[in-house]
Amino acid sequence: MEKRFRLRIDEKIVGYKREVSTRMVFYSKNEFWWNGQSIGHKQIDEFTGFYDKNKTPIYEWDIVRFVLTPEDGKEEGVILWNTKDKCFGIKRINTTGFIPFAIEGINLFKYSDLEVYSYLFLNPNIMNHLGLEDV
C-alpha cells in the first residue's frame, strides 16, 4: 500500500514523498512531477488518506474546519495520529476530544465536511494550547 508524506524544514514545506514499495520511492516539490531524487528535510508529515472539500490532501499537523453534525456547526481541529488506536483523527481546538476519521471502516466525515485552512507548525500558540510538540 502506497504511503505519502509532506516534507518540511521547520515551517517551510520543501516537498513531498511517495513510498510505492520499499524499493520504489519518489519525490516531488509540487505533487505533480515525481522523480527518484531525494529532497532534504527535517520533518515529515504523513498523508491521512483523506481530502477536504477543495480536494486538498489532508496531512497530519493540518488545521481544519469540520462539521461533525449539522446541529454543532463548524468546529476547528488539528489532524493528529492516535498511537493508542492507530488511526488519524481530529483533535478539537476549542473543546476536548479526539474524533477518528473512521471507526471500523466507516468514515465519520464526508469530504464536504472538512476544510484545511492552516498548519499547526505555523501556529505555535495553538500547539502550546494543545500541549503538542512538533517532531
Answer whether residue 65 is part of any domain.
yes
Total domains, the chain: 1
Q: Is residue 43 in a domain?
A: yes
Please check whether residue 8 lies inside any domain of the structure.
Answer: yes
Q: Is residue 48 part of a domain?
A: yes
Q: Which domain holds residue 115?
A: 3-130
The verdict on residue 135 lying in a domain is no
Q: Is position 37 within any domain?
A: yes
110 inside domain: yes
pLDDT-based confidence at residue 96 (cuts at 50, 70, 90): confident
The band of 69, judged by pLDDT with boundaries at 50, 70 and 90, is confident
Instruction: Report how far residue 86's alpha carbon sits from residue 94's, in angstroms, rounded to the nearest whole number.
Output: 24
Q: Whats the size of the chain, residue-wise?
A: 135
